[in-house]
Structure formats: structure tokens, C-alpha cells
Amino acid sequence: MMQAFELTALILAGGQAQRMGGVDKGLQVYQGVSMARRLVDLVSPLCIDTVISANRNIKHYRALTRLVVSDAEPWQDIGPLGGIFSALESINSSHLLIVPCDTPCLSREALLKLSMSAQQTPDKVHYLESESGRQPLHAVLPVNQLKQKLPNFLKNTEHFGVMKFYKTIGAESVYWEHDEELVNINRIEQLI
């Protein structure tokens, strides 16, 4: 019997934020609210659970959601795929919705469009694409495929590129016309 389409959200907040001076990006305040809080509030109504991938300030992130994971050895410091791998055991849904913590302008409508596309061809990865290009960290991934293929991919690659991994599953882009929603907050002066 086919599993019902359900989403678990993974907010990626485990980066080093080098362009922002090394601060914990997810905890930075944007328009009066931390970027991580903004994303938790956005994804929670669409998902059965919300996980945050963070490698520091775990106590602060646990105040936002009960599930916080840190990069597991030996996949520390490899980027987003390390965070995704660490979340695998926490996922009990058919699909994983990933979003980076540094796009606080993202809309519910963008995520709904992504989710609807994933429901049409559920065995593929679906990621947003906009005028500025691919947005592979705004994606819906099939969990069974993820659990089968990601550990093998990590063991057998020297380049931990997200799009390279998506090709092992098969991926479709979903065009989102509101490019301004996908702007990454990478510098302190962008915090308003």
C-alpha cells in the first residue's frame, strides 16, 4: 500500500555564516523575528513535523522545535547534505521539505507550489527555480529514495554538491516567479 503524501520540514541552520562574520545566521533577527523562527512558523502548518539542522546554539533552536539535529560524523562540514543525512532518522513522513534558514522572505505559496508538484511525481526531487537560477535548498525530496541513496552517495563521492546528489534520484525544477522571496540574507547589513 502506498504511503500518504506527508511532509516533514528540515530547516538548514548548520552553516558557518562566513560572509556574515561567523554569527549563527538562523538566530539573527530580520524584521523583528529571528530567521529560524520565521521559517518554523512558515513550514509548520504544512508539515507533520519540523526539524532544525544546527551545529551550535542547540538550546536556542530547541526553543523553536523539539527536533534539532547536528551533523553526524564523518559528515561534518560538508554542507547541506550533512544536515540532511543527520535528519534521516527523525523523518517519519513520505517526503522531506528542506529550506535554508536565511531566506526569510519565502512565502507559503512557493512551498505549496513545490508540494503540489511533488505530489504529481512523488519519486523525484522537486526544487524551486527562479529568474536568478536553481534554488536546490528549497526542495521536496522523497524520503525512501533519500534513505536508500544518500548514505551511498556520501561514501562514494568527493564532491558533496546538492544538485549532483539530486541527479541520483531524478529531479524536476518548479519555476517560482517571485525571485525576491528567494534572496539569501548573507550580510549583516541585509538584516532589517
User: Grid coordinates representing 15?
Assistant: 552553516
Q: Which residues contact 163 (CB under 8 A, 6 or more apart)?
A: 134, 136, 171
Binding residues for GTP: 12-14, 25, 71, 102
Strands 33-34 and 29-30: antiparallel
Q: What is the DSSP string of 109-175?
A: HHHHHHHHHHHHSTTSEEEEEETTEEEEEEEEEEHHHHHHHHHHHHHT-S---HHHHHHHH-EEEEE
Positions at the binding site for Mg(2+): 102
Residues flagged as binding site: 12-14, 25, 71, 102
